[in-house]
Amino acid sequence: MLAVIRLRNLFAVVMLFGIYSFLAAALFVTLNAVDVAFTEAAVGAGIATFLMLSTLALTVRREKLRRKRSVIPLLVVTSIGATLVYGTFDMPYFSDPSAPVHGHVARHYIESSTAEVGVPNLVTAVLTSYRGYDTLGELTVIFTAGIGVLALLGYRKRGGKP
């Protein structure tokens, strides 16, 4: 991650980001989240990296050298990080079965999903049946992003006439 900050060659930055996404997807598999790993590998290491490479092909390849180096962002980031670390001391332990996040609604989904929905994949059952309205909103966001990109980049060629 520190290499992403220091590198000026943007192509290398995008490649490192692709590797980072792929490592995150592998991490998700070891954390028993196979659906999420699938989506992260396809979307993060595939589409996002590919779109950034297209943007690099249409803009510049290297970053300009900054003349003044201020230390304020570093201070801001360190203080926020320290506050967050202080805040995590109250959080439940990693992979603790008695954490509050595993009670209530999640337990209801796991126990009664087979009787009510009948689909083995619990993530699909929750995503499309119990929380189908949120998935409709997600679909709308993707659709809007597609229309937005079409409106921004769709019709005129580079520097040409409409």
Partner 1 sequence: MRPPIQPHNLVLRIAAKMLIPPILMFALYVQFHGETGPGGGFQAGVIFASAFVLYALVFGIGLARAVATGRLLRVLASIGMLLYITVGLASLFSDANFLDYDVLAQERMEGQHLGIFLTELSIGMTVAAVMIMIFFAFAERGVRP
Partner 2 sequence: MSVLIGHYNYWIVIFLMMAGLYVVIAQGNLVKKIVGLNIFQASVFILFISMGKIEGGTAPIVKEGVSLYSNPLPHVLILTAIVVGVATTALALALVVRINEAYRSVEEDEIHEQDQSF
Torsion of CA 107, 112, 114, 119, to 10 degrees: -70
Could you say which of partner 2, partner 1, none residue 136 binds, taking C-beta under 5 to 8 angstroms by partner kind? partner 1
Of these, 4, 31, 47, 105, which contacts partner 1 (CB under 8 A)?
47
Distance CA 108, CA 105 (A): 5
Q: How far is the CB of 144 from partner 2 (least distance, A)?
A: 8
Assigned token pair, 3: 């290499």
Could you say which of partner 1, partner 2, none residue 133 binds, taking C-beta under 5 to 8 angstroms by partner kind? partner 1
Assigned token pair, 56: 């690099």
Q: How far is the CB of 90 from partner 1 (least distance, A)?
A: 33
Residues 132-151 that bind partner 1 (CB under 8 A): 132-133, 135-136, 139-140, 142-143, 145-146, 149-150
Half-sphere exposure of 91 toward its Cβ, with a 13 Å CA cutoff? 9
Asked if 32 and 82 count as a contact pair (C-beta separation under 8 A), the reply is: no
Toward partner 1, which CB reaches closer, 82 or 153? 153
Toward partner 1, which CB reaches closer, 58 or 65? 58
Q: How far is the CB of 6 from partner 1 (least distance, A)?
A: 28
Residue 131: other Cβ atoms inside 10 A: 13
Assigned token pair, 39: 């989506």
